[in-house]
Structure 1
Amino acid sequence: MRGDRLVSLVLLLRQHGRMSATALARELEVSTRTVLRDIEALSAAGVPVYAERGRHGGFALLPGFHTELTGLNHDEALALLVAGSRRGAQAFGLGPALASAMRKVIDALPESYRATAAGAAQRLLIDPETDLLARRLTAEEVPDAIGAEVRRAVLAGHRLRIRYAAADQAPKWRTVDPVGLVTAGGQSYLLATRSGADRTYRLSRILAAEELTEPARRPDRVDLDRAWQERSTRFRTGGDQVTVLARVEPARRADLVGTALAVLAEEADADGRLRLEVTFQDRRHAEWALWHLGTNAEALSPQWLRDSLRDRGTAIATRYGESSGK
Structure 2
Amino acid sequence: MRADRLVSLVLLLRRHGRLSAARLARELEVSTRTVLRDIDALSAAGVPVYAERGRHGGFALLPGFRTELTGLNHDEALALLVAGSQRGAQVFGLGSALASAMLKVVDALPESQRETAAGAARRLLVDPDSDLLERRVEAEEVPDAVVSEVRRAVFAGHRLRIRYAAVDQAPRWRTVDPIGLVTVRGQGYLLATRSGADRTYRLARVLAAEELDEPATRPDGVDLDRAWRDRGTRFRTGGDQVTVLVRVAPARRDELVATALAVHRGEPDLLEVSFQDARHAEWALWQLAADAEVLSPQWLRTALHDRAAAIADRYVTGRAAPSSR
Structure 1 residues 108-155: Cα deviation after superposition (integer angstroms, max 9, x where no partner): 000111111111111110000100000111111000010010001001
Query: Are residues 1:281 and 2:279 paired?
Result: no
Q: What letter corresponds to residue 302 of structure 1 in structure 2?
A: P
Aligned to 1:200: 200
SS in structure 2 opposite 1:131?
A: coil
SS in structure 2 opposite 1:128?
A: coil
State the aligned residue count.
321
SS in structure 2 opposite 1:18?
A: coil
SS in structure 2 opposite 1:23?
A: helix
Normalising by structure 2, report the TM-score.
0.97
Aligned to 2:292: 297
Aligned to 2:134: 134
SS in structure 1 opposite 2:79?
A: helix
Equivalent pair of 2:70/2:108 in contact (CA under 8 Å) = no
Give 5+ residue unaligned stretches, structure 2: none
Q: What letter corresponds to residue 324 of structure 1 in structure 2?
A: A
* Superposition deviation, residue 100 in structure 1: 0.3
Q: What letter corresponds to residue 298 of structure 1 in structure 2?
A: E
Normalising by structure 1, report the TM-score.
0.97
Alignment partners' CA distance in 2, 1:267 and 1:81: 43
Alignment partners' CA distance in 1, 2:186 and 2:244: 27
Q: What letter corresponds to residue 297 of structure 1 in structure 2?
A: A
Aligned to 1:72: 72
* Superposition deviation, residue 315 in structure 1: 1.1
Alignment partners' CA distance in 2, 1:133 and 1:324: 31
Query: Residue 301 of structure 2 is aligned with which of 300, 303, 306?
Result: 306
Alignment partners' CA distance in 2, 1:185 and 1:12: 30
Q: Structure 1 residue runs of 4+, over 2 Å off?
A: none
Give 5+ residue unaligned stretches, structure 1: 269-273
Q: What letter corresponds to residue 289 of structure 2 in structure 1?
A: G
Query: Are residues 1:51 and 2:46 paired?
Result: no
Alignment partners' CA distance in 2, 1:92 and 1:157: 17
Query: Are residues 1:324 and 2:310 paired?
Result: no
* Alignment map for 1:81-160 (pairs within 5 Å): 81-160=81-160
Query: Are residues 1:246 and 2:255 paired?
Result: no
Alignment partners' CA distance in 2, 1:57 and 1:302: 69
Structure 1 residues 65-97: Cα deviation after superposition (integer angstroms, max 9, x where no partner): 001115100000000000000110000000000
Alignment partners' CA distance in 1, 2:70 and 2:11: 11
111-120 or 86-95: which moved more?
111-120
* Superposition deviation, residue 236 in structure 1: 0.8
Alignment partners' CA distance in 1, 2:320 and 2:22: 49
* Superposition deviation, residue 284 in structure 1: 1.2
9-18 or 235-244: which moved more?
235-244
SS in structure 2 opposite 1:19?
A: coil
Aligned to 1:18: 18
Equivalent pair of 2:178/2:191 in contact (CA under 8 Å) = yes
Q: What letter corresponds to residue 171 of structure 1 in structure 2?
A: P
SS in structure 2 opposite 1:67?
A: coil
Alignment partners' CA distance in 2, 1:167 and 1:121: 41
Aligned to 1:271: none
Q: What letter corresponds to residue 317 of structure 1 in structure 2?
A: A
Query: Percent identity, aligned pairs only?
Result: 79
SS in structure 2 opposite 1:225?
A: helix
Aligned to 1:263: 263
SS in structure 2 opposite 1:321?
A: coil
Structure 1 residues 208-247: Cα deviation after superposition (integer angstroms, max 9, x where no partner): 1111111110000000000000001111111111110001
* Superposition deviation, residue 324 in structure 1: 2.2
* Superposition deviation, residue 251 in structure 1: 1.2
Q: What letter corresponds to residue 253 of structure 2 in structure 1?
A: R
